[in-house]
Amino acid sequence: MVEKKASKKAEASEPTPEALASALQQEAGESKPKAKSKVKAKLLMYKGKPFVRQGNVIYYGNPTDKYIVTFTLEDFKQVKDLQVAQHVTIVLQKNDEYLSQKNKMIKKAERDCLWSAIDIGAFWLEDALEQG
């Protein structure tokens, strides 16, 4: 019974496509336009798709597409004044809010640095979107 509660809590914490779209709009400064400021924040883009970070999770891909990639950052080490992730979990998943987290996952891998994880995730996402 305790395991069921933990899994429900984990599924409830996963953002929906609407939450990702809202985060993208907030990052871009579109959700609440300020009367005095005309400057919009720019999203971090890679290969034409946005990166949105929420805590230790980075979401890569358009929230309206069929698939997205998540990068979960773990095991940080201090390098000068920066914290660098030493372990990254990559997950290619379907972008459907009605599926359980288990049913969303298509591929999963782990890497020791963020750059190699981004390289793999970008390839997986491109391939999945091309295949439909």
What does the pLDDT read at residue 27?
54
Q: Which domain, by its residues, includes 20? A: 2-131
Q: Write out the two tokens for 28.
A: 């871009």
- Positions in the chain short of pLDDT 70: 1-41
- Per the structure, the count of domains in the chain is 1
Percent of residues, the chain, with pLDDT higher than 90 = 39
Instruction: Supply the pTM of this predicted model.
Output: 0.67
Which residues, 6 or more positions from 20, have their beta carbon under 8 angstroms from its beta carbon? 52, 59, 63, 68
